[in-house]
Amino acid sequence: MPMQNYLSEGIFDDVQEYPDAEVKRRFDRLIGLDSVKDRLVKEAMMRLQPTSLDAWSQRHFNESLPALKFFQRRPPLFVLAGDVGTGKTELAETFGDAVARKAGITILLHSLSLTARGTGAVGEMTRLISSAFGIVKSQAASLVDGQSASAGHILLIDEADALAQSRESAQMHHEDRAGVNALIRGIDDLAEGRRPVLVVMCTNRLSALDPAVMRRAAATFVFTRPNAEQRRMILRSAFPDYVCTEAEMSRVVELTGESSESKIGFSFSDITQRLVPAVILAAFPDRALTADLIVSVASTTKPTPAFSEE
């Protein structure tokens, strides 16, 4: 089935091909998330080049370590959870570019449409989820021993709690339970098939995910609002020291942190999408950009409210 048909049928919102120059810029702008970025790229590389682990073990120990067997049939699922605006979806949408460049191959990002919940018709949600996994599976051939992937795939499920909510809820509809079952089967099938695919789920409601889904996660990354050091890194990347001295920057960092009024600090998107543009627009076109102006805008900008799971 042609790719445009997958989109028109509402299975995927988008299919993005990497490498892509603009996506690389977005990935590079995610400051303060280096450990998560490195881990996701490393996990993807091991999925695409499964012999690399054995080569590493042979190089350092002259044998294949027994621990490596635990990577066999390991579910390729990663959960990114946290408050709104903390960078989880942006990272999920962009790390594939870094993988494509490192591996020297094409990576396709398949963004599952939220309409995969369907209209409530019996069997629709299950069919759409099964179709999504089936499409990715059909494009990602199983790797035989000693083989590296010629292309890789990422299946992104944003707002995953809408599809993978816990089946332990007494109010859960039968159709929703069937959909979660289909999701679990799809993840297990990818693990068994040794296919070059990663499944990435993003959610604001980690506690709402089904326990069986969580048990299959190779790693769960919890994203929080940036701390003072991270806020300084983001702000300094926007405002060099000839605009804002270290002392002046410390004041801005303080203003974007927790306060007695807000109780929470700025999110990544609060800084990059609201504060920094507001500062520039306050100066443009007739005023110079000064530290006093940055402080003034920061003092009147409020952080977005924290997401509540209740």
User: Could you tell me the CATH number of the domain that includes residue 8?
Assistant: 3.40.50.300
284 and 263 in a common domain? yes
> Is residue 308 in a domain?
no
Q: What is the pLDDT along the chain (310 residues), one digit of tens a residue?
A: 444 455 546 789 889 999 999 999 999 999 889 999 999 999 999 888 888 899 999 999 999 999 998 888 889 999 999 998 999 999 999 999 999 999 999 999 999 987 655 555 556 778 888 999 999 999 998 887 778 889 999 999 999 988 888 877 656 677 778 889 999 999 999 988 888 999 999 999 999 999 999 999 999 999 999 999 999 999 999 999 999 999 999 999 999 999 877 789 999 999 999 999 999 999 999 999 999 999 999 999 999 998 765 5
CB 109 within 8 A of CB 20: no
Determine contact, residues 246/232, Cβ cutoff 8 Å: no
Would residue 306 count as lying in a domain?
A: no
| Domain C-terminal end among 199, 223, 247 | 223
User: Using omega within 30 degrees of 0 as the cis cutoff, is the peptide bond preceding 277 cis?
Assistant: no
Is 186 found in the same domain as 59? yes
User: What total of structural domains would you count in the chain?
Assistant: 2
Instruction: Clarify whether residues 122 and 154 are in a common domain.
Output: yes
- Residue 307 belongs to a domain: no
Is 309 inside any structural domain?
no
- The tens digit of pLDDT for each residue in 77-124 reads 999 999 989 999 999 999 999 999 999 999 999 999 876 555 555 567
Tell whether 243 and 170 lie within a shared domain: no
The phi-psi region of residue 73 (left if phi > 0; otherwise alpha if psi is between -120 and 50; otherwise beta) is left
| Shared domain check, 238 and 139 | no
pLDDT digits (tens, 9 = 90+) for 131-141: 999 999 999 98
Predicted local confidence at residue 59, as pLDDT: 96
Answer whether 71's CB lies under 8 Å from 53's CB: yes
* Judgement on whether residues 9 and 80 belong to the same structural domain of the protein: yes
Q: Note whether 187 and 138 are same-domain residues.
A: yes
- 82 lies in the same domain as 68: yes
Strands 106-112 and 151-157: parallel
Say if residue 169 is in the same domain as residue 249: no
Q: Can you give the residue range of the structural domain that contains 259? A: 228-300
Asked if 163 and 278 sit in the same domain, the reply is no
Last residue of a domain, one of 208, 223, 238: 223
